[in-house]
Amino acid sequence: MKEKVEGYILVDMMDRWFWALEGSGEFTITSVRKMINDFMLPEMSSKTRWIKAVPIKVNVHAWKVKLDGLPTRLNISRRGIDIESVLCSMCGKAVESTSHKEMSNV
């Protein structure tokens, strides 16, 4: 073990915590959120645009449509949940996908 620490020079000062994601060494929630966004979430080809003039639920719905994240029968089946059929419950003729649900049953 002595060989492993021989090359290190120790300074006589108090130890302290250092957050490597910030240049200042200070921990911030913003830096954690940015790290999660940058490294763990899939990169989007375009930024999400929120329109302030419409209710937030409309913005969220449009965002889910864009990401194909609505709980359609096809998406539920893709997630490994056993369902009776992936056919549309309204028409019974086509697979219930996001595009079918949003455009066909108007």
Condensed to tens digits (0 to 9), the pLDDT of residues 53-87 reads: 889 999 899 888 888 889 999 999 999 999 999 99
Query: Are 35 and 68 in a shared domain?
Result: no
* 33 occurs within a structural domain: yes
Number of domains in the chain: 2
Query: Are 98 and 65 in a shared domain?
Result: yes
Structural domain for 68, as ranges? 56-103
Query: Are 69 and 99 in a shared domain?
Result: yes
Report the distance separating Cα 71 and Cα 81, nearest Å: 11
Inter-residue contact 88 to 95 (CB < 8 Å): yes
Query: Are 23 and 62 in a shared domain?
Result: no
Torsion sign (Cα): 19, 23, 25, 27: negative
Using pLDDT thresholds of 50, 70 and 90, give the confidence band for residue 49: confident
Alpha helices by DSSP H, listed for 40-84, are: 56-66, 73-78
* 16 occurs within a structural domain: yes
* 23 occurs within a structural domain: yes
So what's the pLDDT on residue 76?
94
Inter-residue contact 92 to 104 (CB < 8 Å): no
What number of other Cβ atoms are within 10 A of residue 20's Cβ?
7
Query: Are 62 and 90 in a shared domain?
Result: yes
Query: Are 97 and 64 in a shared domain?
Result: yes
* 93 occurs within a structural domain: yes
Contacts of 68 (CB under 8 A, 6+ apart): 75, 97, 98
So what's the pLDDT on residue 12?
87
